[in-house]
Homo-oligomer: A and B are copies of this chain.
Amino acid sequence: KQVVLLPGDGIGKEVMESAKLVLNTVATEYGHRFAFHEHAIGGDAIDRYGNPLPDDTLKACQQAEAVLLGSVGGKKWDNLPANKRPEKGLLGIRKQLGLFANLRPIKSFPALEHVSPLKQEVISGSDILIIRELTGGLYFGQPSERRENGQAAVDTLYYQRYEIERIVDKAFQSARKRRKHLTSVDKANVLESSRLWREVVEEKRQQYPDVTVDHLLVDAAAMKLVTSPDQFDVMVTENLFGDILSDEASVLTGSLGMLPSASVRSDGVGLYEPVHGSAPDIAGRGMANPIGMILSAAMMLRHSFNMEEEAAEIESAVNDTLNEGYHTADLNREGGKLVGTAEMTEAVIENIT
């Protein structure tokens, strides 16, 4: 299996090491072979090649079966012009590879429920999968430019029906494998694109009669995520709403550092990355939480390589490790065993073998 590794910036490099170690363990245990090809992206690529997404990196990703990404960005590159910034590398890869479906599972770990900013009775039992459309909408719509001598600016929210259909299909299929409930989020009382979105959902639901569906306005969804996160199963929404809601949801459990994500297309090719950022403040100190990256590697095994058993093995090893009391400094947990990146990775590997 050909896997491109893009460690990127800050703690990205450190947690990528953890993913490699875990994948090598799985390879040994199950008799697989993963070939890793490392390339530059983001600020690191700007420093080395003057480009957040070098051609060489893009080409490698286009040939890979899966891409693992650490994290990109940092203050150092914040003042560069928009098209030279680390994030451009990320947006470019998503678009160029056609990775239209961003999967963001948010699940409260029993061992960590008390670190949530929410009361335990509110967060307990929550298990949400947010599916965000990733290659359309305001992120890519044209025109996006200055007008009237720079005294005005315009961005464009544009969706074609087929773009909505494929993400809605993905969402229904995902709901089928879970608790069979889908919440579609839009702003149909204001936006024409949302009304098209809602029409597509209404049409598609005929094909998935076993899945229950409701529509929620994005403002109401932002409220309900806080007041009753346990009421959601799968949520599907357009690019920008998904950006906001999935980040809001990612802090509900109090363990952002634990969360993985996948950005996939229909043939199984995907890019996998932890939800957390590059955390320049703790970079290089060996204290980053590697679990988000390790669980992203598990998602890769499941979605790109169809290795369900291996993925589940990693996930249960992580669970066991948390239950043994291991935690990194970000988890704000009292008692237990406070460890760094390397020991945490070691502990997970112990639980795999």
Residues of A within 8 A of B (CB): 82, 85, 87, 91, 116-119, 122, 138-139, 141, 144-148, 150-162, 187, 189-193, 195-196, 218-220, 222-223, 225-227, 240-241, 243-245, 247-248, 250-252, 256
Contact = CB atoms under 8 A, between A and B. Distances in A.
A214 to B, nearest CB: 13
Q: A-B pairs with the 7 shortest C-beta distances?
A: A222-B248, A219-B247, A153-B196, A153-B193, A155-B157, A152-B160, A151-B161
8 contacts: A118-B119, A151-B160, A154-B158, A155-B156, A156-B157, A218-B243, A222-B248, A227-B251
Given A118-B119, A151-B160, A219 B192 contact: no
Contact of A222 (B85, B191, B192, B244): B244
A37 B96 CA distance: 59
Nearest to A144: B192
Contact of A247 (B161, B192, B223, B252): B223
Quickly give the copy total for this chain. 2
B252 A226 contact: yes
A76 to B, nearest CB: 15
Contacts of A251: 223, 226-227
Contact of A219 (B85, B156, B244): B244
A240 B251 CA distance: 21
A118, A151, A226 pick with most chain B CB within 10 angstroms: A226
A148 B218 CA distance: 26
A139 B157 CA distance: 12
Contacts of A87: 189-190
A77 to B, nearest CB: 11
A226 B248 contact: yes
Nearest to A116: B119
A245 B222 contact: yes
A154 B226 contact: no
B156 A189 contact: no
A332 to B, nearest CB: 10
A116, A151, A152, A250 pick with most chain B CB within 10 angstroms: A152
B191 A138 contact: yes
Contacts of A145: 192
Nearest to A244: B222
Contacts of A191: 138, 144, 155
A226 B196 contact: no
Nearest to A120: B119
Contacts of A82: 189, 195
Contacts of A154: 141, 156-158, 192-193
Contacts of A193: 153-155
